[in-house]
Amino acid sequence: MTQNRQVLLASRPSGAVRPENFCIVDAPLPKPGEGQVLLRHHWLSLDPYMRGRMDDARSYAQNAALGEVMVGGIAGEVAESRNPKFKVGDCVIGAQGWQLYSVSDGRGLTRVDTRVAPLSHYLGILGMPGVTAWVGLIDIGKAKAGETVAVSAASGAVGSVVGQLAKLRGCRVVGIAGGAAKCGYCFSELGFDACVDYKAGRLLEDLQEATPQGVDVYFDNVGGEILDAVLTRMNPHSRIPLCGTISQYDKADSHGIRNFRSFLVNRILLQGFIVSDRKAAWPQAIAEITQWVKDGKLKYRESVAQGLDSAPSAFIGMLKGENFGKQVVKLT
């Protein structure tokens, strides 16, 4: 291999992301210098946060630069090493972006053990999405046995872990997902107590039926109309860990919150969070989730796109809710 295929950010979206916002190019294969390693990427993670990085607006992290490799997490292996901390064949995860190869000085790389789980799982349940679920539910939501936990995007990379963690804590779990197949998966496979299909046209009625005792913790991944609907079911002193607002990412005008009065009446605590701000929680979260995966107590599903060239279309599909579980791209 003498070339490195890359996906660049060609233009910033106006509204929905389009294929022409990306550009696929071949660049020279990078060469590691002293203290560096050459990484061969095997898996690319596609996540909703990337949509915000495509904009030129103030955010919690630096935006992707036009003409540069699109930002994103990868899982791969060391193909060449001039760094004594890494040897050829080491499996690692990092944030090297949408490309087949990269050079790193080792900072930001984490070794992973593929004897515990497949390499791609370290981009999902054993990586950032899994920790996000743990931090939001346990550290922020403080879910307790006997409480009702609702979670949107319930079949996705974060939501599916949230619901399972809540069940392990003795909670009643109500998922919200799009379509009968996703709701059936949450109920039958993941063990949720109920799952509401927001595409069925009966969101308020179905939520009321699924939450007869109201909602104590709502883990929100989507915002918009679903947040407004859940606000009608919140109990006094309930908590809302706000993880994402994916329903609004492609919209020029935000939906806002129309049931805002519920926050006052029910004394709701709303906490937006970015999991990278909570590094102190990562070791405990990863340790607990890893043990539950080993014990077979947590299930996990992936949507797999094939080849780097498929990344733009897979990303666009994910933003529309077409993925089922964690969206990854198999690069090799």
pLDDT for the residue numbered 246: 87
Apex 107 CA angle, 103 and 112, nearest 5: 90
pLDDT for the residue numbered 174: 98
Decide: 98 and 69 in contact? Cβ < 8 Å: yes
Structural domain includes residue 291: no
Residue 238 and residue 256 in one domain: yes
The residues near 220 (Cβ < 8 Å, ≥ 6 apart) are 152, 226, 227, 230, 240, 241, 242, 243, 244, 245
Residue 268 and residue 133 in one domain: yes
Decide: 223 and 156 in contact? Cβ < 8 Å: no
CATH code, 117: 3.90.180.10
Residue 146 and residue 262 in one domain: yes
List per-residue pLDDT tens for the chain, 332 residues long. 679 999 999 999 988 999 999 999 999 999 999 999 999 999 999 999 999 899 887 766 678 999 999 999 999 999 999 999 999 999 999 999 999 999 999 999 999 999 999 999 999 999 999 999 999 999 999 999 999 999 999 999 999 999 999 999 999 999 999 999 999 999 999 999 999 999 999 999 999 999 999 999 999 999 999 999 999 999 999 999 999 988 887 776 777 789 999 999 999 999 999 999 999 999 999 999 999 999 999 999 999 999 999 999 999 999 998 999 999 999 99
DSSP 283-330: HHHHHHHHHHHHTT-----EEEEESGGGHHHHHHHHHTT---SEEEEE
Domain span at residue 141?
128-277
How many separate domains does the chain show? Answer: 2
15-29: buried (b, 16+ CB within 10 Å) or exposed (e) per residue?
A: eebeeebbbeeeeee
Structural domain includes residue 287: no
Residue 58 and residue 76 in one domain: yes
For the CA atoms of 120, 121, 127, 129, the dihedral, rounded to the nearest 10 degrees, stands at 100
Structural domain includes residue 107: yes
Decide: 95 and 72 in contact? Cβ < 8 Å: yes
**What's the predicted TM-score (pTM) here?**
0.92
Residue 242 and residue 215 in one domain: yes
Residue 156 and residue 257 in one domain: yes
Residue 240 and residue 325 in one domain: no
CA pair distance 10, 27, nearest whole angstrom: 15
pLDDT for the residue numbered 287: 95
Structural domain includes residue 111: yes
Residue 66 and residue 115 in one domain: yes
Structural domain includes residue 242: yes
CATH code, 210: 3.40.50.720
Structural domain includes residue 285: no
pLDDT for the residue numbered 168: 98
- Residue 118's closest CA among 126, 129, 106? 126
Structural domain includes residue 304: yes
Structural domain includes residue 159: yes
Decide: 304 and 328 in contact? Cβ < 8 Å: yes
Could you tell me how far CA 308 lies from the centroid of its own chain? 19
Residue 78 and residue 216 in one domain: no
Residue 144 and residue 268 in one domain: yes
